[in-house]
Structure 1
């Protein structure tokens, strides 16, 4: 063992490696956890730029005796992507598809390439990589190889091992070699060991497809071509580090048909699987009624198409065989449905409905992270598998075990392979729950072993299950695993604590060591028991925030999409805040590590809705700023931009002052001086103040009297609308009156405190909100709905009001009474205008729409899209943040990131749009960003509907 200190090792690494070498507390906290229950703090994180970089880093680690853990997307649920020494992050730079041979149907990739990126390269050639886990848009091929990932289509295409041709690897001694069929001589002694243990390998390993636990030594048998590459798949970085891989590709399925089969419960559904497998389906997935209910609540009723009667379903995909027609596939699908043993069956041809059915299963993979009651559900018994013919009986016994121990979780999984996914509400919040949790896992392990199953069916054993392997394998098999480990890694540097000489399953658990952080004067954290610690531990690390989900309408996580740095993603920030509650690395709210982690958070709130666990970093950031700066001097931007309504109110209160100020700020040198003094970027332009307040316009205009009784609505003039840009509100008056409403505008000013909230000045925000309740509360008490104009302010009332003033009885009624204009106009009577109202025709109008992030996250933009579609507009709906995000993009140090975020969707769309296209943006930030960066003026939905665009 080397006597080098961590500082010595880091200095050697920086001298040897071109990529990033980071041993900061913040970085170590970010990489201390993956998607499992474990927290293991590394000494240093290295992001190699190429294979030579990785080899140099590995050489330093070996010479210094530092343990090595390879990491891809960090989505491992078993704890096999965390380690005490050096974490090698291959996803940052080594993430390319190097070659694709369409004729040979192979692709050569670097270990950090995201699987969906490989699919995108292969798709034009009519090819794909067969195994497709639900995390495919952020999981890397290196990680999939490490864990032997499978996914739903492994029924047809096999596991990652079955689709791996050769591997470029380096073992624990520093030997680099190409692993493939017939290459056992690359590791001295391996061929002899296999020949000596043929009987043990043939009888104990490879008994059924999803036997992933342990080392899959059956691939080394002579009858299996002594395939070293396939054996190394699933070894979890304990034998070799992968530098590259050549994988096999399969043809894309043509128009697969989905067969939905309903059963009274999940075990009964599982009983039907063997008969269905005889029809050679592409996939057989099981989903539970409670999981469907969770998807329906989270995504909305429209997201869940009608399913056959039942409380448990099988979704079976049937694809075309060579030479088959669509009618042939439908006929086979009907034959399969007839073999399902249930009258509750639906055969759905390829199309939108089939895709929606399949999406239920994909959504459930993330939403299963909480129980139906909303309690945290943890991995740990995530993917056990049994032979498919025994699955029904296993599920009966497993659900009985859960019931007996008072454990709950949502069941789903790859039933065609006998693999069951479930996250369980194990009592891991406190140290008292660790023992009962361990006892449950041991009992579950004994149950699976009794059914001839595997503790891991596709995610690997990691820290979650390695110590349980003695319940599945004999001492002779475990000794064989140890001898194999010694041949590849005699000094035990590669991912120690996993598979061989494992750490106990209850060692290094993250959640029990976090201290409660009860709500005080900031947010109430009502859905998390009033505990900030519970709130930040919503993040289980599934990593959806690392994926570019814009194609599916996602907005998360804009800064990460711009920087590709774990620091700037929801998960990375949550890990730092989790460490704050643990206190071993990061001890204080005003720690530089916390400030760095949250610096590029745009407070867009997209994570609150796009993250399946509801991790809301925007709220956490506000709470942190509130606590960190309480009683201290704040940055100047907090006083200027964070209290903007106060200053804009003063400027617009004096007749003529707004006009004069606007004229002065058009003098660029003067504007730059003001921007610099205010902590803002001098490349920005100053905001323009309204030269006539909206309420002054309203008083001057006067209320229009009409014949007949009209429903009253309150048009709420928030501070932005009142003092900066009232055009949307003026147009909303026209639209609302045309729709048959009597518009009421309160004379008193009512600010939601949004800018105070985003800068963590929560005492000031509460004062603003209390005043708002005084103004709007009486209208709500009369049953009059409130219509918001600025989306961020509307969202503040819908989401933040109750959290900041939970004890005020007016808070919830006001929050529930607030609607967007589109929500009102598309609502059924008596709230909505009724079926006779139709929007002004927008036939022939090209609309490029930028939904505001808060609008997307809190209210949803579907009503707006529905109105535009009904009006006949040609709609391009953008996904992702505009990049300005209120004060964020104005502040010094954020400009480059702000522009980079805008370049992910907004700016390219505006450049491609025709000159007559209407840029629709209800959010003032979205309009300001486009105006500042490309000179494109945006309009509010009300302006478009009123014919004022």
Structure 2
């Protein structure tokens, strides 16, 4: 369309260097292999099959450090579509991965064969029993679900920091928790029932009184297999004790083996196993949650300590006082947060060891809040704080705007620190948990280990629950950097397990990065039971291979993505996906994140590559012309990346100065132009 794109070559990125090791291979320049595309199109319809190379590239990344290019992308509209894809894949020995928001931090939303988008047509909330329960579809964001519940004075238990973008399907599949959920308010504890599709196509509604009877008819081997594993676990008191102990702290490593202890029938066991299964056991089509009271009386404080261990030592005191949330932010996190709107600029000058605790109490009424303020004052009296809070006077606040600012800075942890990383480096986000009483010791050990391996990582997390997150960056294009990272991960995993008996994954679920270390944490017997669980439910290995279970000791180093530099306005992007719900064209062509992903793939290619040429041919329409240009993405992005402004700049690049002047003249005299057009 020459009127829309007179000079497509103007979009060719500048400064393309040597091709990257993880570039899309040239055999995919024409997109999905013809036979696969034609068969799925005949099965589902052309509008549900995305096959161009630009489609494959924009679905190849999530918020993790991994990148895997699918062979095809399917937009599933309903359970019939999901069952049809599973049946097709089963008959041809193919693999399937489900993807919703793509905010996962462990590569759970990426696949190398058939990738099924279950976000676009899967949103919806039905409030039940005056808000005490809610029926939610898997493509619904946590923010949207809570908005529907708020008018009833209720809220969901899980509250991940990515609530603006992450969906409930992913929250369940990863057993995400967040700032306040701990071990009692997460998806495993608050899920009432599920409707799921098993790998063989069987649909199970766990709330149906006849569900076990119907499942026994449809999947007898599955039912027998689950009950055999249950009996084996219960016959081993030592294993039962170990399983119970592992879930006393936050733990999302591997399958939930306590599902075998908590469930009495195959359907009840399945309901528990699906939580944290990362799409490896089936598709979650619908969920009913038991909700919690929304306590509206809030008091919070942001307290600054001279060091991370000093802050960690104060955490048990606030826990005993009844704090619902105690969040820690180390000096690197605080300094990086100045890129977040509203964060004081003087945080950039804080001493290197300064650490903050964000402490919050919530109560159902004024009397409860006053009591919490009294307890908090007692704790503060014994603490030694530093500027900007050097006094206990007025440390806690009730002001909603101030409290909102605190949480905005905390929730921007990943994006703010990631945006401040060295250009061209890949960001790793990990989380682990130790007994809360040993948090200070774990902080010191983590800092020492980072220094030993040459990393200056940022640390934050849910200190009240012994759950720490850390970010570090390295260049995935440099083998020496990858090996340095590998050595750190090996040492970190052994430290967490052998010294603290902690959880290698507290709330992000196993993911590709921790799958090879599963046996280190759980031991050979429990790990083998997890492999048996997978074989019982998915005997053909159809769903999400190598995401939760992986016998390759270096599997976590496979698929690490390079981050080529792109235009300055977009280069800080860490591909988190927070921008996507705000994008008007997200269901038309591409999202802001995907527009940046496509630019990065162009930079990975060699000059003259057929992949590069095809990406450029599609980019004008898929990214530039269909961008609303309203910069809503900037408002949603924690570090203010304005992809809309970048697309408008690209529109200017594609026109000559003469054409730009003609357009400006037409705009100034638009009344006459419109009259002439109507006359014509």
Counterpart of 2:396?
Answer: 347
Q: Secondary structure at the match of 2:525?
A: helix
8 Å contact from structure 1 (residues 202, 218) kept in 2 = no
User: How far apart, in 2, do the equivalents of 1:603 and 1:256 lie?
Assistant: 38
Counterpart of 1:159?
Answer: 186
Asked if residue 209 in structure 1 is aligned to residue 241 in structure 2, the reply is no
Q: Secondary structure at the match of 1:174?
A: coil
Asked if residue 334 in structure 1 is aligned to residue 377 in structure 2, the reply is yes
* Higher RCO (C-alpha under 8 Å, 6+ residues apart): 2
Counterpart of 1:196?
Answer: 232
Counterpart of 2:556?
Answer: 505
Counterpart of 1:70?
Answer: 98
2:566 to 492, 507, 532: 532
Asked if residue 430 in structure 1 is aligned to residue 478 in structure 2, the reply is yes
TM, length-normalised to structure 2? 0.82
223-232 or 142-151, which moves further after superposition? Answer: 223-232
Counterpart of 1:483?
Answer: 532
User: How far apart, in 2, do the equivalents of 1:118 and 1:379 lie?
Assistant: 30
User: How far apart, in 1, do the equivalents of 2:136 and 2:463 lie?
Assistant: 30
Q: Deviations over 1:422-445 (max 9, x none)?
A: 220223243442221212112111
Counterpart of 2:508?
Answer: 459
Q: Secondary structure at the match of 1:501?
A: coil
Asked if residue 385 in structure 1 is aligned to residue 433 in structure 2, the reply is yes
TM, length-normalised to structure 1? 0.60
Q: Secondary structure at the match of 1:380?
A: strand
Kindly report which structure 2 residues correspond to 1:808-823, keeping only aligned pairs within 5 A, or say none: none
Q: 1:622 to 1:329 in 2, by over 3 A?
A: closer
8 Å contact from structure 1 (residues 258, 347) kept in 2 = yes
Asked if residue 132 in structure 1 is aligned to residue 132 in structure 2, the reply is no
1:219 is displaced (CA, Å) by 2.5
1:276 to 318, 334, 357: 318
Asked if residue 255 in structure 1 is aligned to residue 294 in structure 2, the reply is no
1:159 is displaced (CA, Å) by 1.6
Q: Which runs of 5+ in 2 are unaligned?
A: 1-31, 216-221
1:9 is displaced (CA, Å) by 3.7
Asked if residue 84 in structure 1 is aligned to residue 112 in structure 2, the reply is yes
Q: Secondary structure at the match of 1:382?
A: strand
1:221 to 256, 261, 280: 261
User: How far apart, in 1, do the equivalents of 2:298 and 2:376 lie?
Assistant: 10
Counterpart of 2:26?
Answer: none
User: How far apart, in 2, do the equivalents of 1:119 and 1:221 lie?
Assistant: 31
1:324 is displaced (CA, Å) by 3.9
User: How far apart, in 2, do the equivalents of 1:224 and 1:367 lie?
Assistant: 45
8 Å contact from structure 1 (residues 156, 282) kept in 2 = no
8 Å contact from structure 1 (residues 409, 424) kept in 2 = yes
1:592 to 592, 608, 617: 617
1:274 is displaced (CA, Å) by 2.4
**CA RMSD after TM alignment:** 3.5
Counterpart of 2:354?
Answer: 311
Q: 1:332 to 1:102 in 2, by over 3 A?
A: farther
1:393 is displaced (CA, Å) by 0.8
8 Å contact from structure 1 (residues 239, 494) kept in 2 = yes
User: How far apart, in 2, do the equivalents of 1:664 and 1:534 lie?
Assistant: 39
Q: Secondary structure at the match of 2:258?
A: helix
Q: Which runs of 5+ in 1 are unaligned?
A: 517-530, 549-559, 653-657, 674-949
Counterpart of 1:667?
Answer: 675
Counterpart of 1:117?
Answer: 144
- Structure ID, larger Rg: 1
Q: Secondary structure at the match of 1:497?
A: coil
State how many pairs are aligned. 619
8 Å contact from structure 2 (residues 101, 167) kept in 1 = yes
Counterpart of 1:778?
Answer: none
1:405 to 446, 453, 457: 453
Q: Deviations over 1:630-681 (max 9, x none)?
A: xxxx6xx656653448x74xx99xxxxx9xx778546334x676xxxxxxxx
1:571 to 593, 615, 639: 593
1:300 is displaced (CA, Å) by 5.0
8 Å contact from structure 1 (residues 276, 340) kept in 2 = no
1:614 is displaced (CA, Å) by 6.0
Q: Secondary structure at the match of 2:49?
A: strand
1:273 is displaced (CA, Å) by 1.9
Q: Deviations over 1:726-768 (max 9, x none)?
A: xxxxxxxxxxxxxxxxxxxxxxxxxxxxxxxxxxxxxxxxxxx
Q: 1:663 to 1:65 in 2, by over 3 A?
A: closer
Q: Deviations over 1:322-364 (max 9, x none)?
A: 7945433433433454576768542222532222223221233
Counterpart of 2:523?
Answer: 474
User: How far apart, in 2, do the equivalents of 1:101 and 1:605 lie?
Assistant: 36
Counterpart of 1:294?
Answer: 336
Q: 1:191 to 1:347 in 2, by over 3 A?
A: same
139-148 or 292-301, which moves further after superposition? Answer: 292-301
